[in-house]
Amino acid sequence: MLRIFATTTVVLLFIPTLVFVVVALLKGLAFGDTLAALADQLTSDHINLVVISVLSAMPMLLVAISLWVRRFIRKTWEGTETYTLCGALPIIAVALFVNLEYWPTYLPEREFLGFPHGLEFIIGPGLFAPVAMLIGFCVAWIVRRRA
């Protein structure tokens, strides 16, 4: 369980940066310009990649708390890997969707787009990722019942 949890958390921490770099390169920015834009974005006041990375990984705390509660009730760690994987994959999908939704509109101009833009970085991990995690837990429960 810990191996899956740690790997997923590290992946979630790197998704915003990787999506930023890939979108910047696909939008025609040179590699040097992409690195300069990445450095600017890591220190930005508006949409900071470090903050976005931490927000993307926060739903994994819900996975950990949920599995701890399950362990407390069931008195066993059996099946935890299935629940961890099925809870983490939808969170990764939400993080990818949120980042792929924002960065193509932001790059290559790098102009802050105004109020409603960037809100997806809060709504995605805060609202959609926990719901997706619960759906993943339901899938894990069904998979474990059939096995």
Name the average pLDDT for the chain: 92
Query: What does the pLDDT look like over 49-65, one tens digit per residue?
Result: 999 999 999 999 999 99
The model's confidence at residue 85, banded by pLDDT at 50, 70 and 90, is very high
Every domain of the chain and the residues it spans: 2-146
- Across 92-118, b (16+ Cβ under 10 Å) vs e yields bebbbebbeebbeebbeeeeeeeeeee
pTM (2 d.p.): 0.91
Instruction: Give the whole-angstrom CA distance, residue 55 versus residue 36.
Output: 23
pLDDT at 101: 92
Query: What does the pLDDT look like over 22-80, one tens digit per residue?
Result: 999 999 999 999 999 999 999 988 889 999 999 999 999 999 999 999 999 988 888 89
3 has a pLDDT exceeding 80: yes
Evaluate the CA torsion angle 65, 66, 69, 70 in order and state its sign. Answer: negative
Torsion angle of the four alpha carbons 116, 118, 120, 121, in this order, in degrees rounded to the nearest 10? -150
1 has a pLDDT exceeding 90: no
